Structure 1
Amino acid sequence: MQFSGIFKMLSESTHVKIAQDSLLWMHDYTGLPWWSVIVLTTIMMRTAITLPLSLYQQRIFAKLENLKYEMDEIIKEMKKETSYGIYKYKWPKDYARRLYNHSVKKQWNNLVIRENCHPVKASILILVQIPLWISLSMSIRNLCYMLPKQDANAYTIYQEFITDGFLWVTNLTVADPFVLPIAMGLFNLAIIEINYMSRIKELTKWKQYLTYFFRIFTIGMIPIAMYVPSVSCEKIFYKNSLIIVCLCIYIYIFYIFI
């Protein structure tokens, strides 16, 4: 199999080559079968890179949530001051509204600067997670399809993928149409529900629509994952990675943009 266009560019890119070489080194160093190497590499990446960033992201979210309570008190005072200005100084309502909105934004920015918790900082996990996911998934695909060079070494690795299966998946290059896609969907749905149940207050309509969308999206991905051509070893990685990527985006939008 040969890629073309953007997939060919990604397949031959430097960061994918580094990820591919890392997998080969891990396999040669540990001597483990390929399915174990993929799982072990995923766990190591999660522990060393994404876990600290995830904790940092949650810390930013916690600070923002705490600031909302303080901001509510400030808003109450500002509403009183605005009403007083309209009554005392005969401010036009349009002018008072613009002044109020400007003051609210300024006060919120001051609180964010004080706590050093700008919402953009929460996006660092997504900015790291997505390139990492693309690099590792493309490197696994390269190994399965003997890319980017179809030489003797690539063929040897391909043969190892055929024989280094696990449990019901005896051939890692053959798609698993049931267990792993269903597991991926259930894990996704579980994380969405946990995030939903951990809410502090009632959701706005937009947040409710967003939650419904991701529920439907998660369930809809199950039959798609069963039929879209994809090697089983990639699904081992996807079950650990695609879940986190989608849910990080969901949580980021959930807390920041709405």
Structure 2
Amino acid sequence: MFRNLRLLKSNYQINKKSKLKTNTIYLIKSRNFSHITSKHKSFNQNYNINNEYFTKNVRNSSILAAISEKSHLIFTKLSESYPVHIAQDFLINFHDTTGLPWWATIIGSTCLLRACVTLPLGAYQQSIVAKLENITDEMRNIEHELKAETALAIKKFNWTKKEAFVVYRRSLKKQWNKLIIRDNCHPFKTTILMWIQIPTWICLSAAIRNLVYMLPNLDVQAQIIFAELQVGGFLWIPNLTIPDNSYIFPFALGLINLLIIEIQLASKLKEQKKIQKYLTNFFRVLTVALVPVACTVPSCLCLYWVTSSTCGLIQNLILLSPKIRYLCRIPATKNNVSHPYQLVWNKLKQRLTFS
């Protein structure tokens, strides 16, 4: 009996050991298999990541290709447009008529256009701005009168506040329109300089670019003009078809444009509103961003930009003079000062000392 029990016990132990062995083998196999599956999963994940990265690169490259193609089409259409053709013919005829070298042609034609077009429009714009300032002051008195009349009407006709406000706003707008018609100073006219100056700047820039790259037609005249531009420079830029390697013109462009912004800001007595501050900062950033662009364009194009900005600076300074404003029939306002240049100089010095 004890012998059978021992045999049973030994068999049980053997079976237990065999089970343990099989379990350990199963665990080892399962671990190996899980390791393989984890490797397979990581491989799949890496494959998916690489595949996504590849597809993203393909999409980005296709987007960049589409953008470059569209920009090329825009520049092509711009160079072949009729206004650019007129500007290009104007430059060529000015050069042929005067017999000046190309650097003097660019400077002379820019100053001529600024004097004949931009300066009169600038004076007209200043006149509209002055008239709007005066009727704004006049509207304050009218506004007080309308408020008093509206308060009486509320008591007399038993109007609600909403009805009274609607009538008040309608009457105020009617009086404002009457003053605008009387002085012929619609606010949209204050943007007339922008609508003329910016397209002119773009067309002349595109026309000079056409002369450098012999566009839109590669004919004998275009090749002759290109050869003249190569030898039509001066001082440190004898070749007008290559960028200014001294970076004198690009940095001069940035400084002149910043000076224009600061002079316009210093010549006003009123404090700027929030939107005006944002616009001023935007133009400052745009001016700084234009400097590296000017470092890469042909020097003849950069010469035009510097000349145009210099003329704009002189124009702003001229229109600050009380005598010039009187000759141009710009109405006087309560914000006018007798010594505007002294005011601008003091404000600029104050700004520089604080910075």
TM-score range, shorter chain: 0.7 to 0.9
Preserved contact between residue 133 and residue 242 of structure 1 (Cα < 8 Å): no
Counterparts of 1:139-218 in structure 2, within 5 Å, are 139-176=207-244, 178-218=247-287
Between 61-70 and 11-20, the greater mean CA deviation after superposition: 11-20
Offset from partner CA, 1:61-87 (integer Å, 9 cap, x none):
111111111111111111222233334
CA distance in 2, matches of 1:21, 1:130: 19
TM-score by length of 1: 0.85
Structure of higher RCO (CA pairs closer than 8 Å, 6+ residues apart):
1
Identity of aligned residues (%): 49
CA distance in 2, matches of 1:239, 1:163: 20
CA distance in 2, matches of 1:185, 1:104: 44
1:238 equivalent in alignment to 2:294: no
1:15 Cα offset (Å): 2.3
CA distance in 2, matches of 1:15, 1:224: 24
Q: Which residue number in structure 2 is paired with residue 76 of structure 1? A: 144
Between 92-101 and 56-65, the greater mean CA deviation after superposition: 92-101
1:92 equivalent in alignment to 2:148: no
**Which residues of structure 1 form unaligned runs of 5+?**
249-258
SS in 2 for 1:168: coil
Q: Which residue identity is paired with 2:268?
A: R
Preserved contact between residue 175 and residue 232 of structure 1 (Cα < 8 Å): yes
1:39 Cα offset (Å): 0.5
CA distance in 1, matches of 2:78, 2:152: 61
Q: Which residue number in structure 2 is paired with residue 54 of structure 1? A: 122
1:88 Cα offset (Å): 4.0
Q: Which residue identity is paired with 2:270?
A: K
Q: Which residue number in structure 2 is paired with residue 254 of structure 1? A: none
Preserved contact between residue 231 and residue 240 of structure 2 (Cα < 8 Å): yes
CA distance in 2, matches of 1:200, 1:93: 37
1:101 equivalent in alignment to 2:101: no
CA distance in 2, matches of 1:208, 1:32: 43
Offset from partner CA, 1:182-215 (integer Å, 9 cap, x none):
2122111111111112223222222222222222
CA distance in 1, matches of 2:177, 2:261: 30
Q: Which residue identity is paired with 2:305?
A: Y
Offset from partner CA, 1:234-255 (integer Å, 9 cap, x none):
11112244685xxx9xxxxxxx
Aligned pair in 2 of structure 1 residues 84, 203: CA closer, same or farther (>3 Å)?
A: farther
Counterparts of 1:246-257 in structure 2, within 5 Å, are none
Q: Which residue number in structure 1 is paired with residue 105 of structure 2? A: 37
Q: Which residue number in structure 2 is paired with residue 126 of structure 1? A: 194
Q: Which residue identity is paired with 2:259?
A: A
Preserved contact between residue 57 and residue 122 of structure 1 (Cα < 8 Å): yes
Q: Which residue identity is paired with 2:132?
A: L
Aligned pair in 2 of structure 1 residues 13, 219: CA closer, same or farther (>3 Å)?
A: closer
| CA RMSD across the alignment | 2.2
Aligned pair in 2 of structure 1 residues 240, 85: CA closer, same or farther (>3 Å)?
A: farther
Q: Which residue number in structure 1 is paired with residue 60 of structure 2? A: none
**Which residues of structure 2 form unaligned runs of 5+?**
1-70, 317-355
